Amino acid sequence: MKFLDQAKIYVKSGDGGDGVTAFRREKYIEFGGPDGGNGGRGGDIIFVAAANLNTLIDFRYTQHFRARKGGNGAGSDRTGAAADPVVIQVPIGTQIFDEDRDVMLADLDEAGKRILLCRGGDGGHGNAHFKTSTNRAPRRADKGWPGEERWVWLRLKLIADVGLVGLPNAGKSTFLSVASAARPKIADYPFTTLHPQLGVVRLNPIEEFVIADIPGLIEGAHEGSGLGDRFLGHVERCAVLLHLIDGTAESVVTSWRTIRHELEAYDEALAAKPEIIALNKCDALTPRQISARRRALEKASGAEVMVLSGVTRQGLPEMLRRLQDIVNDVRAERTTPSAS
């Protein structure tokens, strides 16, 4: 299945049914009078976050969604049937924006969360509604109210606990493959990862977290270089960023600063998230090289730098334990009610 994280669609709720003009005419009833019923309500457009979806690929082939019109009223004061709503299922983490992408209309970040985006039109009144003591035979009946229609953008932001960031070929896909059951494409050339990948890490039967691997960033990604920085949206919800740096790079400090600059250019809130820096591919370095490059990184970043190798799994258990502890703390903060 192809991965698609944004789509533009057209939605229209149903028009209300029409009211009718009708009169009661029965042989043994002296005064009949008006008995035209009201129209039924048009169908709504409802979005629901579904747990079994992880891409917006379905909206590439189906882009127009229209609810049905409500039923027209009838004689004997019968109201038309209300139309069924159109329920559109989207992956958890989908955001709905207006056509200009300026205003976010909804954020479906939990399974089962629903949003009524377009309300169906109300049905028109039949002539029975207009009967009064002075107007006993009204011949007025209203048309149903029109439904709402609009173009909207859907944007998917994956729900993950840990986000992997780094330059192309920093070893992110290898780390994801050894830390979880995910099987991303791995090769010795840049931009092997072309779309985000998710993996579930299980430390024990009761502790687990989700890792999101996104395509590598390069200098100028916020200006469109490489694959751009659009995929950073998939790590905006993460509790912590794992910044992998290729230990065999010519300058590990420059590599770190390049990614930090792109994070800050994209969103300062994302750049402010907790970050763990890992010097990766240490199986290809000598102990002296590891020590020198680690010290240089710690001096530049002012933070502890962990040593890691996805190939030999050096430092992997300690890294996963640290990530799980941070995720546990963030989850506890989110579930603890704030003091009023």
The two tokens of residue 39 are 């129209």
In a domain, 340, yes or no: no
Task: Mark the binding-site residues for GTP, compressed into ranges.
Answer: 166-173, 191-195, 213-216, 280-283, 309-311
In a domain, 239, yes or no: yes
Q: Residue 149 corresponds to which amino acid?
A: E
2 or 240: which carries more pLDDT confidence? 240
Looking at the fold, whether 175 and 241 belong to one and the same domain comes out as yes
- Per the CB < 8 A criterion, the answer to whether 106 and 96 are in contact is yes
The C-alpha atoms of residue 172 and residue 189 are separated, in whole angstroms, by: 13
Give Cα 57 distance to the centre of its chain: 13
Task: Mark the binding-site residues, compressed into ranges.
Answer: 166-173, 191-195, 213-216, 280-283, 309-311
The C-alpha atoms of residue 212 and residue 175 are separated, in whole angstroms, by: 11
Of 130, 156, 182, at which residue does a domain stop? 156
Residues whose CB falls within 8 Å of the CB of residue 88, separated by 6 or more in sequence, listed in order = 11, 45, 46, 47, 48, 65
Q: What's phi and psi for 240, nearest 5 deg?
A: -150, 150
Question: pTM of the full predicted structure?
Answer: 0.73
Q: What is the pLDDT of residue 219?
A: 58
Lowest mean pLDDT of 86-90, 198-202, 303-307, name the range.
Answer: 198-202
Q: What's phi and psi for 264, nearest 5 deg?
A: -70, -35
- Structural domains in the chain (count): 2
Give the Å distances, CA to CA, from 171 to 44, 199, 281, 286.
47, 15, 7, 18
Q: Tell me: the pLDDT tens digits for 284-338?
A: 888 899 899 999 998 988 888 888 887 888 888 898 899 888 888 887 876 766 5
Percent of the chain at pLDDT exceeding 70: 87
Looking at the fold, whether 86 and 121 belong to one and the same domain comes out as yes
Looking at the fold, whether 53 and 107 belong to one and the same domain comes out as yes
The C-alpha atoms of residue 267 and residue 255 are separated, in whole angstroms, by: 19
The C-alpha atoms of residue 138 and residue 33 are separated, in whole angstroms, by: 9
pLDDT bin (cut points 50, 70, 90) of residue 1 is very low
| Bridging pattern class, strands 6-12 and 149-156 | antiparallel
In a domain, 1, yes or no: no
Task: Mark the binding-site residues for Mg(2+), compressed into ranges.
Answer: 173, 193
Give Cα 180 distance to the centre of its chain: 23
Q: Tell me: the pLDDT tens digits for 32-52?
A: 788 899 999 999 999 999 888
Domain carrying residue 325? 162-335
Q: Please give the DSSP secondary-structure letter assigned to residue 78.
A: B
